[in-house]
Amino acid sequence: MAGINYLRVPAQLEWGDDVFPPIVVNNGSVNSIEEAETFVKTHKTELEEKLNKNGALLFRGFPINSAETFDAFSASFDYPNFTYQESLSNAVRINFTERVFTANEAPKEVEIFLHHEMAQTPISPSKLFFFCQRAADVGGATPLCRSDKLYEALQKEDADLAAQFAKKGVKYTSTMPSSNDADSGQGRSWKDTLSVQTQSEAASKLAQLGYIWEWLADSSLRATTPTLPAVIQRNDGSYVFFNQLIAAYMGWQGVRENPSSAITFGDGSQIPREVLDLIVELSKSFTFDVDWQDNDVAIVDNYRTMHGRRAYSGTRKRQVLVAMAADG
């Protein structure tokens, strides 16, 4: 089998020899899902080196055209599965296979801002696979942001502030509805989120996870996490701004007006609005928009790279499917 062909496009970001993201294109030798699986296994060492260094990979022109072929392609990397059911994701999803489910089902006019998947929970996947089964007519790109570069920029801008995030961590407060709300980016019910049926079972699960919580009059659940990392260190020594601060500040209901209602430092102190504005602004320099083509597949290192979803329009329903992987 031939080697790996990489495509260069004008919008890719570069830091020396570091290109973000590398784009792997089919040279015409891969014509079936079985050949795609063989391609991955043959070149897995190089692909993983690229993924670890660059934080994401985009595959274009490969014969991935259904949930089933996407399942097989993602499984060929041999990473342990991280299922939607076992996660604490607060987004409503629809499963296609045990491994494959829809991306966030929020309405198309809603932007989903940059975040590390499930960084607002104690349990998060290490890698994300995205499959564009059907691109939108207009918009609908998936922005990818290098959070290690973002943290480097924050250190240069304000070293004391960067150190505060690393030392204090963050806490998140969110409200889970009593039943699923598909019109919200955070619409997964507390029953589905916690895999429980009763308030008593929910309380037991939350206590085990270190949350504090209260039940609201409409039977929804308002919960605050234990202190979670805002910054993590990778094996290569790099530091990553691993959190959901941008998504929470920019996208969660009411948070832009009152940030401390949902996000604080781990000691409970406020994160000033101007700090959050700075982080949002810095992220723009390290973000690449994946303008999807049908049958594209992207792999994202969740411990290095944030992702989101641009709003979209048109009559063609955007369909992006997801699979997640745990640490091996």
The full DSSP string for 60-98 is ES-S--SHHHHHHHHHTT-PPB--TTTS---S---BSSS
Residue 196 sits in which domain range? Answer: 148-283
Q: How far apart are CA 252 and CA 255, in angstroms?
A: 6
**pLDDT at residue 115 is higher than 90:** yes
Same domain, yes or no: 207 and 126: no
Q: How far apart are CA 82 and CA 99, in angstroms?
A: 8
Q: What is the pLDDT of residue 88?
A: 63
Same domain, yes or no: 262 and 319: no
**Pick from 242, 220, 222, 246: which is nearest to 231 by CA?**
242
Same domain, yes or no: 218 and 249: yes
What type of residue is 148?
A: D
Query: What are the φ/ψ torsions at residue 157 (nearest 5 degrees)?
Result: -75, -40
Q: How confident is the model at residue 172 (pLDDT cuts 50, 70, 90)?
A: very high
Same domain, yes or no: 153 and 258: yes
Same domain, yes or no: 180 and 267: yes
Q: How confident is the model at residue 32 (pLDDT cuts 50, 70, 90)?
A: very high
Looking at per-residue pLDDT, the higher value among 316 and 103 belongs to 316
Instruction: Classify residue 231: in a domain, yes or no.
Output: yes
Instruction: Classify residue 114: in a domain, yes or no.
Output: no
Q: What is the pLDDT of residue 328?
A: 59
Q: What is the pLDDT of residue 308?
A: 97
Same domain, yes or no: 276 and 157: yes
Instruction: Classify residue 299: in a domain, yes or no.
Output: yes
**pLDDT at residue 75 is higher than 60:** yes
> Please, are residues 288 and 21 in contact by the beta-carbon 8 Å criterion?
yes
Residue count (the chain): 328
Q: What is the pLDDT of residue 185?
A: 58
**pLDDT at residue 103 is higher than 90:** no
For the beta carbon of residue 183, count every other beta carbon within 10 angstroms. 11
Q: What is the pLDDT of residue 179?
A: 83
Average pLDDT over residues 260-268: 97
Q: What is the pLDDT of residue 327?
A: 79
Q: How confident is the model at residue 90 (pLDDT cuts 50, 70, 90)?
A: low
Buried b (16+ CB within 10 A) or exposed e, 104-132: bbbebeebbbbbbbbbbbeebbbbbbbbb
Same domain, yes or no: 18 and 136: yes
Instruction: Classify residue 278: in a domain, yes or no.
Output: yes
> Please, are residues 133 and 164 in contact by the beta-carbon 8 Å criterion?
no
Instruction: Classify residue 24: in a domain, yes or no.
Output: yes
Same domain, yes or no: 9 and 133: yes
Contacts of 93 (CB under 8 A, 6+ apart): 84, 101, 102, 103, 104, 105, 188, 322
Q: How confident is the model at residue 182 (pLDDT cuts 50, 70, 90)?
A: low
pLDDT, the chain, mean: 93
Residue 327, both tokens = 């640490």
Q: What is the pLDDT of residue 84?
A: 65
CA distances from 328 to 78, 194, 302 (A): 9, 24, 14
**pLDDT at residue 1 is higher than 60:** no
Instruction: Classify residue 115: in a domain, yes or no.
Output: no
**pLDDT at residue 192 is higher than 70:** yes
- Helix/strand/coil for 274: helix
**Pick from 143, 177, 159: which is nearest to 307 by CA?**
143
Average pLDDT over residues 296-325: 96
Domain harbouring 232, CATH code: 3.60.130.10
For residue 308, the surrounding DSSP H or E stretch is strand 305-309
Q: What is the pLDDT of residue 234?
A: 96
| Ranges 1-5, 54-58, 88-92: which has the least confidence | 88-92
| Ranges 69-83, 100-114, 199-213, 237-251: which has the least confidence | 100-114
**Pick from 50, 235, 58, 54: which is nearest to 145 by CA?**
54
Average pLDDT over residues 272-285: 98
Total tally of structural domains belonging to the chain: 2
Same domain, yes or no: 296 and 270: no
Per residue in 117-147, pLDDT tens? 999 999 899 999 999 999 999 999 999 999 9
273 burial (CB, 10 Å; 0-12 / 13-18 / 19+) is middle
Same domain, yes or no: 171 and 136: no
Same domain, yes or no: 254 and 299: no
Same domain, yes or no: 130 and 189: no
Per residue in 283-304, pLDDT tens? 999 999 999 999 999 999 999 9
Q: How far apart are CA 303 and CA 291, in angstroms?
A: 22
